[in-house]
């Protein structure tokens, strides 16, 4: 009698319909991206810190708006909820992303993101930094592509 709960538990585990998705029962897991580099091929690296801090934000860009030139001293990941964005790097290369795409941002490299679509662009952004370290650095004056930009 006392073995019935164990037998029932084992029976439940062995049922053919009880599939596991990445270790979670009854869930469907769709991997969007597995990468060790950013979108431009830059190797990922993580800050060495005893005080890690994660910041999550939803950013909305109206059509034609941009982030302005900036860089991230910490790893940043994003997912486009709506719209599209074109990111220009300091060397003049462009990368375009659309709704439903994950983004592994560049680190310590000047870039500018612009909504090049006709509707709002919304993205959820994950900053994996450290307490006291800014997630975004905006240069007071930067020379990008031979132009001085605030």
* pTM flag (> 0.85): no
pLDDT of residue 141: 52
Q: What does the domain layout of the chain look like in residue ranges?
A: 34-149
Q: What are the tens digits of pLDDT across the range 125-140?
A: 999 999 999 999 998 7
Identify the sign of the CA torsion 20, 23, 24, 29. negative
More confident residue, 134 or 47: 134
Q: What are the tens digits of pLDDT across the range 48-107?
A: 999 999 999 999 999 999 999 999 999 999 999 999 999 999 999 999 999 999 999 999
Q: Show Cβ contacts of residue 48 under 8 Å, excluding neighbours closer than 6 positions.
A: none
Query: Domain 34-149, CATH 2.60.40.10 — does that match?
Result: no
Buried b (16+ CB within 10 A) or exposed e, 66-88: ebebebbbbbbbbbbeebbbbbb
Q: Show Cβ contacts of residue 148 under 8 Å, excluding neighbours closer than 6 positions.
A: 141, 142
């Amino acid at each position: 009698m006392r073995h019935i709960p164990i037998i029932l538990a084992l029976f439940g585990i062995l049922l053919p319909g009880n599939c596991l998705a990445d270790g979670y029962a009854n869930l469907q897991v769709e991997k969007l991206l597995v990468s060790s580099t950013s979108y431009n091929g830059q190797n990922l690296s993580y800050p060495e810190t005893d005080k890690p801090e994660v910041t999550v934000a939803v950013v909305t860009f109206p059509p034609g708006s941009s982030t302005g030139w900036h860089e991230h001293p910490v790893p940043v990941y994003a997912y486009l909820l709506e719209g599209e964005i074109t990111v220009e790097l300091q060397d003049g290369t462009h990368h375009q992303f659309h709704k439903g795409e994950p983004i592994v941002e560049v680190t310590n490299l000047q870039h500018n993101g612009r909504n090049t679509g006709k509707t709002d662009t919304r993205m959820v952004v994950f900053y994996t930094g450290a307490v006291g370290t800014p997630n975004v650095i905006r240069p007071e004056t930067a020379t990008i592509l031979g132009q001085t930009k605030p």
